[in-house]
Amino acid sequence: MSRGGYVGVDGCPGGWLAVRLSEDGQSWAADVYEDPHLLWEAHREAKLMLIDMPIGLADGREPRACDALARELLKPGRASSIFAAPVREVLGAAGYAEANALQREISGRGLSRQSWGLVPKIRRLDELLQQDLEARGRFRESHPELCFAQLFGGPMRHGKKTPEGFAERLAHLRRVCAHADAIVAELLARYPRKVLARDDVLDALVLAVTGWLSGGALRQVPAEGDADRTGLRRTISFYKPEGRTLAAGRQ
């Protein structure tokens, strides 16, 4: 496919799944990368990369505003899908007990095991963004459930790991992306489940679709922007079509 395009990235058991849609939406490519540095090298000419992973971490006792605002937009039903990002000091912890103690000491709140499970990937992405200013400018934190809700008129009715939730989300994507079924079928045939779960495919795809449909004109929470002490933005990006949700085709 041509260079450029819009990339959606989701963490998966095998590393990082990237789905890339061309700028005209007529072609696509997708692969799993073991490391975010390899992902970036493969897609550094993309116009935009939306990733489901915290960028910019909590400082001190103040939680990230973007997490709270995204939860509000996902009520009712999907607010719990937004995990609180850890404080930066947690990235150096050797295990969950140490991380939980650090989080509690610095922020006044404990660290969930779900959040701890993300720390190795948060650490590797943070290393890339601290080292490479070009990557810092290209990646945007996003969230699949927020993208589904904003594109299609509200939070999804079913959990994404259920058969009903998978069918619900794929049906929505099918309405706006002609390649949705082919992307899902090819990736699930190419990678075993120990590398890639089927909900990871839909998560990466909705992020790519969000970038493509928006043409890069994303909205974010908080609207005025925010950054952590290293200068990384603490915003969650999405796209909401003006005055309507999406029906058939690109609107």
- With 90 as the cut, is the pLDDT of residue 243 above it? no
Share of the chain above pLDDT 90, in %: 90
CB 99 within 8 A of CB 109: no
Question: How far is residue 228's CA from residue 168's CA, in Å, rounded to a whole number?
Answer: 36
What pLDDT, on a 0 to 100 scale, did the predictor assign at position 248?
36
Nearest alpha carbon to residue 221 among 205, 206, 240, 203:
240
Confidence check: pLDDT of 1 > 50: no
pLDDT band per the 50, 70, 90 thresholds, residue 247: very low
> 22: buried, middle or exposed (CB in 10 Å: 19+, 13-18, 0-12)?
middle
Mean pLDDT of 113-133: 95
* Residue 178 phi, psi (nearest 5): -65, -20
Q: Is the pLDDT of residue 242 over 90?
A: no
pLDDT at 177 over 90: yes
* Beta carbons within 10 angstroms of residue 80's beta carbon: 10
Copy the structure tokens of residue 229.
């002490």
Could you count the other beta carbons within 10 Å of the beta carbon of residue 194?
9
pLDDT, one tens digit per residue, over 139-171 is 999 999 999 999 999 999 999 999 999 999 999
* Per-residue confidence band for 4, with pLDDT thresholds at 50, 70 and 90: confident
Confidence of residue 222 (pLDDT cuts 50, 70, 90): very high
pTM of the full predicted structure?
Answer: 0.94
pLDDT by residue (tens digit) across 80-93? Answer: 999 889 999 999 99
- pLDDT the model gives residue 246: 55
pLDDT tens for 48-61 read 999 999 999 999 99
According to the model, what pLDDT value does residue 14 have?
97
92-117 pLDDT per residue, tens: 999 999 999 999 999 999 999 988 99
Strand partners, 183: none
- Tell me the CB-side half-sphere exposure of residue 247, using CA atoms within 13 A: 2
Q: Are 92 and 73 in contact (CB under 8 A)?
A: no
* φ, ψ of residue 125 in degrees (nearest 5): -65, -40
3-state secondary structure the chain: CCCCCEEEEEEECCEEEEEEECCCCCCEEEEEECCHHHHHHHHCCCCEEEEECCCCCEECCECCHHHHHHHHHCCCCCHHHCCCCCEHHHHHCCCHHHHHHHHHHHHCCCCCHHHHHHHHHHHHHHHHHHHCHHHHHHEEEECHHHHHHHHHCCCCCCCCCCHHHHHHHHHHHHHHCCCHHHHHHHHHHHCCCCCCCHHHHHHHHHHHHHHHHHCCCCEEECCCCCECCCCCECCEEECCCCCCCCCCCCC
How large is the C-alpha radius of gyration of the chain?
17
